[in-house]
Amino acid sequence: MPDKQRPYRVIISGGGTGGHIYPAVAIANQLKALNPATEILFVGAKGRMEMTRVPEAGYKIIGLWISGIQRRLTMDNLSFPLKVISSVRASHKIIKDFKPDAVVGVGGYASGPLLYAATARNVPSLIQEQNSYAGITNKLLAKRVNKVCVAYPNMEEFFPADKLVLTGNPVRSDIMDSAKKRDEALAHFGLDNNKKTILIIGGSLGARTINQSIAAGVERIAKAGYQLVWQTGKAFYEEALAIEEKYKGQGVRTFDFIKRMDLAYAVADVVISRAGALSISELSLAGKPSILVPSPNVAEDHQTKNAMALVQQHAAVLVRDIDAQQELVNAVLELAKNEEEQRQLSDNILKMARPHAAADIVNELIKLIR
């Protein structure tokens, strides 16, 4: 059992997308659950979404001047070496001032300099890799850190085998209880209890292909008697708002970003989602029948690999991004009316859930501190 006598001091670093930020917050919440006196500091990248989302979750964050390398020649690329040197120096100062017992990296730009500085000072360190294909920052850090917690088996091609621990992805604890919140969710979104609800989530930044496909098929979905809770991302939100206005009274609800994802899952009968690692972990815990549309714009097409792990277990339906305009609305209407198929998908995806991921990662961290 973890030692509850001493509060620890832990730095958690990384971000860029919800797929990095929410696991980080789940780890922080688990540390606080073990000992509320534990002190946690987040380190992110200036201008990225963690600088907003982490304070909303109740934690302090410091931003580093760091970004990724663009594929084309830009001023950002020319300044990249300067940013790295500046961020490593800032990280050394953060570690010297905060004096952490351990550091955690969750991927994203900021975790590189912070973990580089921490390991140079022999601070116990752990990285958490969410995907079936490891990110470049985590691959570079793997030789320096003490442990690597992963969500998928067979990650030895990316990381030293003796450092690997299969934990799954930590998700927000409120999602585990979402099944009990249907009445609250219906009221929150202003929906009709007598209609089935389709939830559309393209990731925290939205998904253009999914948005365009749904926009083209809203009339068919509404005519079939289904409601929509639709997270569009910022880029498509104005267009979606106009669609919501047009279908006022028919249960079309649009959001650029949904903060209460527990309620979104609670109200959903069927989900359309990208196949990011965090989304799949949440869908598994919520036990939702899902249609996955993997993003083609990710390293080594890892979202398709994430999705196929479920499809092979009859735990989700796959629609390729290139086929979404023609097939997605047909697929969701077909699934929404087939309750037996929904039940099978739900049963099978629940078997893939790892509800204790945050606790398992924190236990590994405490072993390192000791």
Q: What local confidence, expressed as pLDDT, does residue 3 receive?
A: 47
CB 115 within 8 A of CB 89: no
From 348, 353, 346, select the one nearest 284 (Cα to Cα): 353
Q: Whole-angstrom Cα distance, residue 189 to residue 317?
A: 26
Per the annotation, does 281 bind a ligand?
no
Handedness of CA 199, 204, 207, 208 (dihedral sign): positive
Q: What local confidence, expressed as pLDDT, does residue 121 receive?
A: 97
Which tokens hold the place of 314?
Answer: 């009859």
Q: What local confidence, expressed as pLDDT, does residue 81 receive?
A: 74
Q: What local confidence, expressed as pLDDT, does residue 108 receive?
A: 83
Q: What local confidence, expressed as pLDDT, does residue 5 receive?
A: 53
Q: What local confidence, expressed as pLDDT, does residue 1 receive?
A: 44
Phi, psi at 343, each rounded to 5° = -65, -45
Q: What local confidence, expressed as pLDDT, does residue 2 receive?
A: 46
Half-sphere exposure (Cβ direction) of 156: Cα atoms closer than 13 Å: 3
Per the annotation, does 131 bind a ligand?
yes
Per the annotation, does 182 bind a ligand?
no
Handedness of CA 93, 97, 101, 104 (dihedral sign): negative
Supply the DSSP string of 128-166, one letter for each residue. Answer: EE-SSS--HHHHHHTTTSSEEEESSS--TTTS-GGGEEE
Per the annotation, does 220 bind a ligand?
no
Contacts of 52 (CB under 8 A, 6+ apart): none
Q: What is the pLDDT along the chain (370 residues), one digit of tens a residue?
A: 444 557 899 999 988 887 789 899 999 999 999 999 999 999 998 988 899 999 999 999 999 888 765 555 556 666 767 878 888 999 999 999 999 999 999 988 889 999 999 999 999 999 999 888 887 888 989 999 999 999 988 899 999 999 999 999 998 878 888 889 999 999 999 999 999 999 999 866 668 999 999 999 999 999 999 999 999 999 999 999 999 999 988 999 999 999 899 999 999 999 999 999 889 999 999 999 999 999 998 877 889 988 998 999 999 999 999 999 999 999 999 999 999 999 999 999 999 999 999 999 999 999 999 8
Per the annotation, does 17 bind a ligand?
yes
Q: Whole-angstrom Cα distance, residue 64 to residue 291?
A: 37
Task: Determine the distance from the C-alpha atom of residue 72 to the mean position of all C-alpha atoms in its chain, rounded to a whole number.
Answer: 27
Per the annotation, does 138 bind a ligand?
no
Domains and CATH numbers, the chain: 9-169+355-369 (3.40.50.2000), 174-350 (3.40.50.2000)
Strands 270-273 and 252-255: unpaired
Per the annotation, does 209 bind a ligand?
no
Per the annotation, does 15 bind a ligand?
no
